[in-house]
Structure 1
């Protein structure tokens, strides 16, 4: 990467004008002379219920309440979105991206290139549905103003969160910052995962698919005991940073009344319910981008050929200020398809990144329209109008007891025939699929008549399923949404059918089947709100269930095994521990961590040139997706894995009965659950192995906002838990209060109606104006 240094340019920032606020404990006056007025009521665990007479006031109240709890997280992220991390934190430190952190200099070049490209301004200039609605614009303006009002009222030096108290990088935000955050959230599974490849700071394999989590069930009238629609939301998002969820209720009397959760810094509810409809999302396997191979013009590496004609690349010079006041220039190349990757380039070819979410600001309007829907028909209309879900499936139900699934996400319009006809070799490992020929316009993304923008599949082409029993997804492809109605025949760009479901989706479907048959020990068949809660917190470890008998057989035949280092290991005590374990990753599950350490070692990398190793005795059979693969191979890999796991425990004096309560935690609170690979419905993830002290690094991903809803004729009955709690401020009383509930398997009874909110003995009320 070529850099040039020169004295820093003077940077000036015009801050927002001062506003006036009043705080009182009575109802708000809707005839206030100020621009914005909102009422913020907080119930137990600090949960905010925000009401206003209009969208501007609602956004103002939301921005103010969010800033009270989490200002430091958004303040840091605004520095990121503006490309100012190198100036404030140094160019080599890691960025605050919770999904894929990169060096600050790389982050700054990428985000400044987005901000200076003018993409947000271009989208804002468009009428709906491509551009934002008037209601959403007012909501965003109000959100920024509310955040700024709280900051001005409190002062940087007096912020309650020590994380950013008195820091020079804390400043007012603008509506543009909020729009940039909404755009970056859309790009989370596409362009924002390729920062290093666009900027040119990495070589080798492409980023893996994000650690997709989430479980979702929409239960119809045939699956519930009282015939009501029910929904389980269990997204698995990061537990730190800007991708955390914030729980909130937003109300404009007679217009909007929605409760649920928003990703930090976004002013709309993404997962939630109103009085008649409930919905949630899971990350989809569908493709979000393609690469285009550019044939470079001989002797002119800054031009490429399309349809026989030379076309010059665009150039964008990005300037980043460093801590010492000097600046760094970085030049990026662009093409008709999108940014040209700095990596993978040769004298003959370069590769452009075509992102289906490159200019997608529509999701916020879609979520706002879904929140106003009176039934599933209204929700489907919202999705067909905006066609914007950036990377997720949608599962929903309504008071009529209908269950609905759709991959209503934006997907590049690439048919199987086009993918085959236009295929080109990949420039790097991990990007073998959907590298297309950029030398001919015949390989451009196609168009559907019903698509709101060109280049994506329209609603008629999307995988959808409506049932009276249930639909479910745990990040598997749309194929087995309900085993009785497989979804097939869609282009591969949506995700392949006939593939291994993986253990977590399988245990999810098994949990539903056992509840519907009444074989799970929770009473007669059919879901109630209470049995729904109990089912999803069963802590089943599915790989242990599938392999237990074979492992114990291996143990009986081999009381002593040999480690990978050639050391004999007595495994009798370990086998006794696993024999006594009930296979559930509860806090006191003696054997849960031992099993994980054994199972993890089964998945060791396969040597180059050898076929991938599988520990399964019975391989996957697409004709029997719910019962294969199964059983454990008794081979040298399995025996060595058990020996190595036991040896690690003994060498470090870790008890073989180590429990999740002892090994995994968040802010010193023990966390139950097990990992994705083990086949755990309520999975956890830690960035690192088991330490020699018998503890993993802190949990950083897992169930985040859990919501169980029953839509009754009398109104919604809802239980929730925000696993990491409402506030990232370590000094807040709401920093870990719900985390303690989650640790104990408890839920919060949601207060949705005005009467329920008013009845909370811990209710506090404030009116904010500005």
Structure 2
């Protein structure tokens, strides 16, 4: 069998055996049960390999730094969040291995290093994944993407741990791989990097009709690659019973619920790293000064095997007391080093395990204070008692406002660049922090309410507008700053539901109204701007394009006036509005042909005293408004594109039409496509957006849950579960979750696989 390597001896449970049951219900969703963590991991690894082995096999090459060997140095890596050339990717990942950071973390006892339960879970996961590969054989894999490929082989526990380590660094070092790897191509990325986004509501007893807690999870992660969610239900009787979304290659649930508590995450606004400007010793390019004393940089030689090359490519990397020295910004006088608070963090994996077992918000909070490991996300949670909880319990560099002001080496609002020439600018310490250099729980923004908390990747400030959060260091995010339209529409959706002004019946949330609210496909920019546009259209039926050409805009105006203002599959005019809105927000061409930055065309500017209702209105006297409408109209008409073009016609994921609109437009359940609208009236495939929608009502009788995995369970194009939930999402459907034993057994097509390791 081509490429099938000898499987490594699987890690053993305490009694020398692994055992698990995998039961699959609608859409192939696996319910995995075992008597211990090792067996649970074994069943999960096997089930995941059945659906997505090729994705993990490819990612293992990435984590080992072996992509250039198999696919060439110039080909792009398989990192859907940030693809870079294979050579740079390989240099970076090999440097992580060579640094010894994983070895050091694994040698530490819990909670600083992994617990015994987590180690057993990871070992079992690897053994289960490899069991499926061994049973099936590379030549008989069902996925044509890697069937028979010489690069497919067993994974190791090191691969699994490296995947977790890389996930922890997602908003920091692993998004700056090119700069770390010395390629010199990442100057634009050396800034405040963020991971993908999300929406979340945690509703308390005062916001729900039944008086129980309810939760909406709507993470916006990539639709391809290793950062997809896998839907799974994990059970160890009497120990763990948790269901939800689990990122590929991770053997625990990141967003989910148990019988009495539910939680989700959104990406935090806090910084994950700081840059340090190094002052180099005169005439010594690899020596820097701290408190006037020279410190030589560390050196790291990294060799990468490249397909077709006679010799490995060797790169020399440099390190400092702060972290790696970046390839960008290095002169004869100064250099820049990267200090990442998550560089050696695996605590979040145990934290997620403990959160999944927590029976209420108080227990979840204790878990977070024990491990203090959330790498880059806010946490929103609720429980059957109706307590709603928000916290930025994430890992944040300990840089106080005073220290940031005193140590800032450059005045750049995008990032913190501190003075590396003095030890007075090292990160500080908190007595309640699990590690030096990060803030402890007492400094973290937190809010507990009986009505609701919400977030759509804004700062903590208006988690609930009735109780603004302001008392936290600036490194966690700003206050009294303009909210993006997605955040505003989310808060407006809650307000209208609580008042009953949204047309969905009596005030207060039910599970059904939560679903309808979350997928209403509202477009806030249209709601705010169309009245002004209508007035302009009546006054100016002909407008000038950017090149001075006169354009009749009456048909475009009529289309936008008749549009339902939503981003449903059949919303006629939604794409015309998107292109107009993009034109309004893009750079403007001056008379000499040069580009000027975008200018504000809002009629009422932002007012921090009215953050939920400003800015608003269209300044129809602003010249860019007419130009944008004329240019957009001409783009459609000169290409014979219908002005009534709908999301269902313009947006696809594979063969499936996808509803939704973009974040910039003020869309809640947003999507993002892989590029601009083509001349044929189609965008490239959707690549990011609402990914694992989960609406949960926690009742004394048990959870009621509706879910939809937008891109479906399997990346295998030949699988029956490759697009089945995508089609469901397309038509606005949800899956009724089976959580209890009775619900699972009642599924008429139940398929059971009982595993025992050999």
- Which bracket does the TM-score occupy, shorter chain normalised? over 0.9
Cα displacement (A) at 1:582: 1.5
Alignment match, 1:9: none
The CA distance in 1 between the partners of 2:570 and 2:66, in whole Å, is: 46
1:274 aligns with 2:258: yes
Q: Could you say which residue in structure 1 is the equivalent of 2:228? A: 244
Give distance in 1, aligned partners of 2:10 and 2:118: 22
1:379 pairs with 2:334: no
Q: What is the match of residue 6 of structure 1? A: none
Match of 1:101 in 2: 83
Name which of 75, 83, 92 aligns with 2:65.
83
- After superposition, the Cα gap between the structure-2 partners of 1:368 and 1:660, relative to the gap in structure 1 and judged at 3 Å, is same
1:206 aligns with 2:186: no
1:412 and 2:397 matched = yes
1:120 aligned residue: 102
The match for 1:598 is 580
Match of 2:294 among 307, 310, 330: 310
Q: Which of 644, 650, 665 is equivalent to 1:678?
A: 665
Deviation by residue 1:661-696 (Cα, 9 ceiling, x = unmatched): 000010111100100100000101012110000000
Q: What is the distance in 1 between the residues matched to 2:5 and 2:48?
A: 23
Cα pair distance change 1:600/1:659, threshold 3 Å: same
**Corresponding residue for residue 554 of structure 2:** 572
Match of 2:487 among 480, 497, 505: 505
Q: 2:51 aligns with which of 66, 69, 73?
A: 69
> 1:206–1:431: 8 Å Cα contact kept in structure 2?
no
What SS does the aligned partner of 2:603 have?
strand
1:3 alignment counterpart = none
CA change 1:388–1:86 in 2 (3 A) is same
* Displacement of 1:210: 4.0
Counterpart for residue 393 of structure 1: 378
Partners of 1:652 and 1:703 in 2: how far apart? 31
Partner of 2:353: 368
Matched, 1:720 2:707: yes
Equivalence for 1:337: 322
Residue deviations 1:39-73, cap 9 Å, x none? 00000100000000010000000000000000000
List alignment gaps of at least 5 residues for structure 2: none
Once residues 691 and 154 of structure 2 are traced to their aligned partners in structure 1, the CA distance between those partners, rounded to angstroms, is: 28
> In structure 2, what is the Cα distance between the partners aligned to 1:433 and 1:174?
37
Q: Deviations over 1:625-667 (max 9, x none)?
A: 0000001121210111111111010111000000000000101
1:490 Cα offset (Å): 1.3
| Correspondence 1:742 to 2:729 | yes
For residue 171 of structure 1, what is the aligned residue in structure 2?
A: 153
Question: Residues 425 and 432 of structure 1 are in contact (CA less than 8 Å); yes or no, is this contact kept in structure 2?
Answer: no
Measure, in 2, the Cα distance between the counterparts of 1:116 and 1:329.
13
Distance 1:330 1:756 in 2: 56
Q: How many residues align?
A: 747
Cα distance in 2 between the residues matched to 1:125 and 1:742: 44
| SS class of match (1:479) | coil
Query: 2:176–2:186: 8 Å Cα contact kept in structure 1?
Result: no
SS of the residue corresponding to residue 272 of structure 1 reads strand
Contact 1:685–1:701 (CA under 8 A) maintained in structure 2: yes
Question: What are the Cα deviations for residues 188-210 of structure 1, in whole angstroms up to 9, with x where unaligned?
Answer: 11001111111232154225644
Question: Does residue 689 of the first structure (1) align with residue 689 of the second (2)?
Answer: no
- Could you say which residue in structure 2 is the equivalent of 1:637? 624
Report the CA distance between 1:116 and its aligned residue: 1.5
Q: How does 1:597-616 map to 2 (within 5 A)?
A: 597-605=579-587, 613-616=599-602
SS in 1 for 2:461: helix
State whether residues 5 and 153 of structure 2, in contact with CA within 8 Å, keep that contact through their aligned partners in structure 1.
no
Asked if the contact 2:276/2:338 (under 8 Å) is kept, the reply is: yes
Q: State the Cα distance separating 1:616 from its structure 2 match.
A: 1.1
Task: Look up the match of 1:217.
Answer: 201
- Given that 1:86 and 1:321 are in contact with CA atoms closer than 8 Å, whether structure 2 keeps it comes out as yes
Q: 1:677 to 1:17 in 2, by over 3 A?
A: closer
**1:492 paired to 2:479:** no
SS at match of 2:704: strand
Q: What is the distance in 2 between the residues matched to 1:20 and 1:189?
A: 31
Following superposition, the deviation at residue 565 of structure 1 comes to 2.1
Query: SS state of the match for residue 181, structure 1?
Result: helix
Whole-angstrom distance in 1 between the partners of 2:396 and 2:655: 41
Q: Report the counterpart of residue 287 of structure 1 in structure 2.
A: 271
Q: Give the aligned partner of residue 27 of structure 2.
A: 45
Q: Deviations over 1:398-421 (max 9, x none)?
A: 010000000000000001110010
Q: Where in structure 1 are there 5+ consecutive unaligned residues?
A: 1-11, 22-29
Report the 3-state secondary structure (helix = DSSP H, G, I; strand = E; otherwise coil) of the residue aligned with 1:205. helix
- 1:622 is the counterpart of 2:608: yes
**Residue 307 of structure 1, CA deviation:** 1.4
For the Cα contact (< 8 Å) 2:179–2:187, is it kept in 1?
no
Residue 615 of structure 1: CA displacement?
Answer: 2.4
Summarize deviations over 1:495-532 as a string: whole Å, max 9, x none. 11111111000000000000000011111000000110
TM-score, with structure 1 as normaliser: 0.95
Q: Does residue 190 in structure 1 map to residue 176 in structure 2?
A: no
Q: Deviations over 1:562-583 (max 9, x none)?
A: 1112221111011001101120
Rounded to whole Å, the distance in 2 between the matches of 1:335 and 1:17 is 37
Equivalent residues of 1:34, 1:769 under 8 A apart: no
Q: Deviations over 1:599-637 (max 9, x none)?
A: 000111368997751221111111100000001121210
The answer to whether the aligner puts 1:180 opposite 2:171 as a matched pair is no
* Distance (Å, rounded) in 1 between the aligned partners of 2:698 and 2:356: 15
State the 1:19 CA deviation. Answer: 7.1
Would the aligned equivalents of 2:11 and 2:124 in 1 still touch at CA under 8 Å? no
Distance in structure 1 (CA, Å) of the matches to 2:471 and 2:637 = 52
CA distance in 2: counterparts of 1:595 and 1:100, whole angstroms: 29
TM superposition score normalised by structure 2: 0.97
Kept in 1: contact 2:575–2:645 (CA 8 A): yes
For residue 693 of structure 2, give the secondary structure of its aligned residue in structure 1.
strand
Residue in 2 that maps onto 1:703: 690
- Per-residue CA deviations over 1:526-560 (Å, capped at 9, x if unaligned) read 00001100111110000000001001111111101
